[in-house]
Amino acid sequence: MLKSDVWFATIDEISPDIRAGRLSSVELTQGFLDRIQKYNSRFNAFEHPTPELALEQAARADSDLKANKWKGPLQGIPYAAKDLFDTRLVPTAWGTKFLRDRVPGENATVIDRLEAQGAVLLGKTAMVEFAGCLGYRFANASASGPGRNPWDPSRWTGGSSSGSGAAVSAGLATFALGTETWGSILCPSAFCGLTGIRPTYGLVSRAGGMVGAYTFDKVGPLARSVSDCRTVLAAIAGADPRDPSCATERTKLDRGAGRQWRNLHAALVPLDWRKAGEPEVKAAFDAAVAELAGAGLRMEETPLPDVPAAEVSGLLIGMEALAAFDPFIVDGRVKQLVDDMAPRQLELGQIVTGPDTLKAIRIREAIQREMREFFQRFDVIVTPNFMSVAPPVEMDLNEALPYGDPVGALAAACGLPGLALPAGTGKGGMPASFQLVAAPFDDATLLDLGDMYQSRTKWNRAHPALA
């Protein structure tokens, strides 16, 4: 008999039971599949559940354990993957309707790596079409409809990893893979009350994943704790000959591999809460800062370098996306996307000249140098993910989220790792969240600091009550 809280349990909690034979992966997987059947249409979490594959993988996990083959903490753990990772003989549609018949012949590297660890794929999660790389203004820009937040289905999950956020938040998977070009892991983590890590660019292979923007895309997990994020990240990180942008040097991610948080110097970015900032979210963020300060983290308010990170990231993502999706622009299928401005992105892109793009690349390196100096003075940035809670699904996102994202822009431009941490609630009991951002390849420091925060608070364990 499964415990009722197993749907919201962490890998750390489930794995020992599976390993000891107290919990069978098949039973657990079947339970998740039943919940997907029951709840999926409420949240638009999964685009394509894979029940047969999941039960086959779960049975293998159980039989391997009976044969004393221990593959690690992910063995038998059910997870979900954003529908832009290639999965052998399973449709992978990148959030669009017109690619629903696209069936890859092999797995993305991250899917292979999780399979090698014995993880169980429950299905492919819904996402914003083309991961939002051709732009979108409304939550419904997805073949699956808008991602509906399990905390309040009238509100958005965040995007573009919308289904990954909904699936974990609703207890339909123990963790999920997402991707981020600019914000797409941290945003749904924040709005759905999850812990999510955007690894340093190049730490995790993108081979077999949809390319949205070649020099910006990252792969990372959305989960229930920092510890779970660390476990998943350790399983998927590492050099890959299939992805030449992948870092070849090994990055240590073990607990304690980061720099001692007691010696860290954190930067607090001054924020203007007057433009759509919500007092409840500000109070939640202030409480998180007080918690970190109380633990002994040294923090100082300081402005970010004055560099055009938003312009550079925005322009380069746009140009790279136009190149990546060129075949669909040429053959006209871009007109089948939900966002009615997507077909006009080429027209807008043609305002930008070749020299503009190359200059943006040069400025990007100047920004990297500025941030390298910044991270010689500060070890981490502590800042809210959003100054408001998840907006209603029908709202124009330009109006719902009118404030800038200066830390996100810098992180996108420089490939910085970021960790989203739940931090209480805002309006209507919706999750509030903050982020830690560090220098490239300092992911372990973020995880260690996040671990410390979650050892002192339990916001990451809150979950919605589903009827």
Partner 1 sequence: MSAHQKEYERQKAGTLSTLKTIRAYPLPPGGDLPVVFRPMRTPKKGR
Piece of 14-22, 169-177, 364-372, 459-467 that binds partner 1 (CB under 8 A): 364-372
**Binding status of residue 315 toward partner 1 by CB under 8 A:** yes
Minimum CB separation of residue 215 from partner 1 in Å reads: 11
Which residue in 234, 228, 166, 169 sits closest to 204, CA to CA? 234
Minimum CB separation of residue 322 from partner 1 in Å reads: 12
Active site residue 41: no
Torsion angle in degrees (nearest 10) through CA of 52, 58, 60, 62: -150
**Binding status of residue 214 toward partner 1 by CB under 8 A:** no
Which residue in 220, 295, 269 sits closest to 404, CA to CA? 269
For residue 141, give Cα distances in angstroms to 138, 177, 252, 418. Answer: 6, 20, 38, 25
- DSSP string over 134-201: T--SSTT-STT-PPEETTEEEEE--SSSHHHHHHHHTTS-SEEEEEESSSTTHHHHHHHT-EEEEPPT
To which H or E segment does residue 437 belong? strand 431-438
Our CB check for partner 1 shows the closer of 34 and 399 to be 399
Taking CB under 8 A as the criterion, the residue among 71, 333, 344, 461 binding partner 1 is 344
**Binding status of residue 272 toward partner 1 by CB under 8 A:** no
Torsion angle in degrees (nearest 10) through CA of 156, 157, 159, 165: -170
Minimum CB separation of residue 410 from partner 1 in Å reads: 15
Task: Give the C-alpha separation, 435 to 324, whole Å.
Answer: 30
Our CB check for partner 1 shows the closer of 192 and 307 to be 307
Minimum CB separation of residue 252 from partner 1 in Å reads: 26
Residues 6+ apart with CB under 8 A from 370: 305, 307
Minimum CB separation of residue 184 from partner 1 in Å reads: 20
Residues 6+ apart with CB under 8 A from 62: 24, 25, 26, 76
Taking CB under 8 A as the criterion, the residue among 51, 91, 305, 308 binding partner 1 is 308
Active site residue 164: no
**Binding status of residue 323 toward partner 1 by CB under 8 A:** no
Q: Which of 25, 144, 161, 184 is catalytic?
A: 184
**At CB < 8 A and 24+ separation, what contacts does 391-394 make?**
391/155, 391/156, 392/154, 392/155, 392/156, 393/139, 393/140, 393/146, 393/147, 393/148, 393/154, 393/155, 393/156, 394/138, 394/139, 394/146
To which H or E segment does residue 329 belong? helix 326-330
> Which amino acid is it at 302?
T
**Binding status of residue 346 toward partner 1 by CB under 8 A:** no
Task: Give the C-alpha separation, 233 to 229, whole Å.
Answer: 6
Minimum CB separation of residue 415 from partner 1 in Å reads: 14
**Binding status of residue 170 toward partner 1 by CB under 8 A:** no
**Binding status of residue 198 toward partner 1 by CB under 8 A:** no
Minimum CB separation of residue 372 from partner 1 in Å reads: 13
Pairing assessment for the beta strands 265-268 and 195-198 based on DSSP bridges: unpaired
Pairing assessment for the beta strands 380-384 and 148-149 based on DSSP bridges: unpaired
**Binding status of residue 399 toward partner 1 by CB under 8 A:** no
**Binding status of residue 364 toward partner 1 by CB under 8 A:** yes
Taking CB under 8 A as the criterion, the residue among 358, 377, 427, 429 binding partner 1 is 358
Taking CB under 8 A as the criterion, the residue among 356, 402, 428, 455 binding partner 1 is 356
Taking CB under 8 A as the criterion, the residue among 41, 63, 366, 427 binding partner 1 is 366
Within 103-142, which residues bind partner 1 (CB under 8 A)? Answer: 135, 137
Piece of 84-92, 117-125, 226-234, 355-363 that binds partner 1 (CB under 8 A): 355-363
Taking CB under 8 A as the criterion, the residue among 239, 352, 395, 397 binding partner 1 is 352
Residues 6+ apart with CB under 8 A from 208: 85, 86, 104, 106, 107, 108, 109, 110, 111, 242
**Binding status of residue 250 toward partner 1 by CB under 8 A:** no
Piece of 258-266, 309-317, 372-380, 385-393 that binds partner 1 (CB under 8 A): 309-317
**Binding status of residue 409 toward partner 1 by CB under 8 A:** no
Q: Which of 15, 24, 82, 225 is catalytic?
A: 82
Q: Sign (positive/negative) of CA torsion 275, 281, 282, 283? A: positive
Minimum CB separation of residue 308 from partner 1 in Å reads: 5
Minimum CB separation of residue 115 from partner 1 in Å reads: 30
3-state secondary structure of 338: coil
**Binding status of residue 394 toward partner 1 by CB under 8 A:** no
Active site residue 205: no
**Binding status of residue 312 toward partner 1 by CB under 8 A:** yes
- Known catalytic residues are 82, 160, 184
Binding residues (CB under 8 A) for partner 1: these are: 135, 137, 308, 311-312, 314-315, 340-341, 344, 348, 351-352, 356, 358-366, 398
